[in-house]
């Protein structure tokens, strides 16, 4: 065999090599799962940092995976404040969707399609069973390029507090498979074609993939997306604690969530929550202020270190259709209560 042919064999080998015990090559697994991986198109309202400009509707792109004929698993930050969600399948089929459950603290969300998809759903696996060193596949839409496959290994398992401190724990699966903007919400598969993670974020200094990607383990996602555990507020917010709480005159014991974007048709909109629209620079960081600061809900305080947020989430998630939700906010220096009824 010539040196050139030998080089080609080694170059192509990773794409056809089957992991021990898997019985399938990377190419075979991809063909098995590709139809269940979707591109998620969103629009949301954003307020510019130039006060003379009006709010604008911004398009967004993410990824997701079909786990039942009408359900899509994705990342919370892809859809949390979306006014509109459209799901695109590899066949070109497009179906509108609504957010039915979301946990920004764990960065996972569940969408419901307006009608059943024709594609076959992917199987959700037990993320506890995958070991460090095993090969994994990530399929998504990096930089908007739909249904792109990247391959790597499970680099580590990371158990930490949620994406806001003081939250319940969440497990992240670290991988060296290339992950870039647009991959968010896409599935991480094991070599049996089972979803074991939902792509969340990367660590980077360049803005692109550096081999430090993280996916929420499916077992963590299951726990917080079960009925009665999560709701979709339709709001993005900034934790207000410590110095920021003092600067914004948050009353004792301090702590809250500064309302950012509010999605049309969401629980946040029905409450009448006001988004932040005033640009400010605090500690060298540009943020929008002036919106409501959520201090608590259903008589439960957020707490100085957000320690009450988990109890608030479970309390709101446990409300039945027709029951009243009461949220206390700080608005223009005054505390007031906003109410709405839970929709079916």
Residue with tokens 């309202």: 45
Whether 77 sits among the annotated catalytic residues: the reply is: yes
The CATH number of the domain covering residues in 34-113: 2.40.10.10
CA 281 – CA 288 distance, rounded (Å): 8
CA 291 – CA 262 distance, rounded (Å): 10
Whether 106 sits among the annotated catalytic residues: the reply is: no
Point out the catalytic residue in the list 63, 81, 155, 184. 184
Do the first three CATH levels of 34-113 and 123-225 match, i.e. the same topology?
yes
pLDDT tens by residue, 269-297: 999 999 999 989 888 888 999 999 999 99
For the chain, the structural domain boundaries read: 34-113, 123-225, 235-341
pTM for this entry? 0.87
pLDDT tens by residue, 117-158: 999 999 999 999 999 999 999 999 988 888 899 999 999 999
Q: Give strand ranges (E) for 131-255.
A: 135-140, 148-161, 169-175, 187-189, 194-202, 213-217, 235-240
Q: For 123-225, which CATH class? A: mainly beta
326's tokens: 């009461």
Assigned superfamily of 235-341? PDZ domain (2.30.42.10)
Point out the catalytic residue in the list 35, 63, 77, 230. 77
pLDDT tens by residue, 223-274: 889 888 889 999 999 999 999 999 999 998 889 999 999 999 999 999 999 9
Whether 276 sits among the annotated catalytic residues: the reply is: no
Point out the catalytic residue in the list 102, 106, 107, 266. 107
162 band by pLDDT with thresholds 50, 70 and 90: low
pLDDT tens by residue, 170-220: 899 999 999 988 999 999 999 999 999 999 987 765 566 566 899 999 999
Kindly compute the dihedral angle of the four CA atoms of residues 294, 198, 69, 236, in this order, to the nearest 10 degrees.
20
pLDDT tens by residue, 29-68: 999 999 999 999 999 988 776 655 677 888 999 999 999 9
């Amino acid at each position: 065999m010539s040196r050139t042919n030998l080089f080609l064999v080694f170059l192509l080998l990773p794409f056809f090599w089957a992991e021990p015990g898997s019985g399938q090559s990377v190419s075979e697994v991809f063909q098995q799962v590709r139809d269940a991986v979707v591109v998620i198109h969103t629009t949301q309202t954003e307020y510019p940092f130039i006060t003379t400009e009006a709010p604008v509707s911004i398009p967004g792109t993410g990824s997701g995976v079909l786990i039942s004929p009408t359900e899509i698993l994705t990342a919370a930050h892809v859809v949390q404040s979306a006014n509109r969600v459209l799901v695109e399948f590899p066949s070109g089929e497009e179906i509108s969707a609504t957010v039915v459950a979301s946990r920004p603290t764990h960065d996972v969300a569940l969408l419901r399609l307006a009608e059943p998809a024709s594609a076959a759903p992917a199987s959700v696996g037990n993320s506890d069973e995958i070991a460090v060193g095993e090969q994994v596949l990530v399929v998504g839409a990096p930089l908007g390029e739909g249904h792109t496959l990247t391959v790597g290994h499970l680099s580590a398992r990371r158990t930490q507090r949620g994406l806001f401190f003081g939250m319940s724990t969440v497990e992240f699966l670290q991988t060296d498979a290339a992950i870039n903007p647009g991959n968010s919400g896409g599935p991480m598969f094991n070599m049996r074609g089972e979803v074991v993670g939902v792509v969340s974020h990367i660590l980077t200094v360049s803005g692109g993939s550096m081999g430090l990607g993280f996916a929420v383990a499916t077992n963590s996602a299951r726990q917080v997306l079960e009925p009665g555990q999560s709701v979709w507020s339709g709001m993005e917010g900034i934790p207000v604690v410590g110095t920021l709480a003092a600067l914004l005159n948050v009353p004792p014991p301090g702590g809250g969530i500064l309302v950012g974007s509010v999605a049309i048709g969401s629980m946040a909109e029905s409450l009448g929550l006001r988004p932040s629209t005033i640009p400010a620079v605090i500690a060298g960081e540009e943020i929008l202020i002036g919106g409501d600061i959520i201090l608590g809900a259903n008589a439960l305080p957020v707490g100085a270190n957000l320690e009450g947020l988990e109890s608030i989430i479970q309390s709101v998630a446990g409300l039945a259709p027709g029951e009243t939700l009461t949220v206390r906010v700080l608005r223009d220096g005054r505390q007031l209560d906003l109410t709405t009824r839970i929709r079916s």
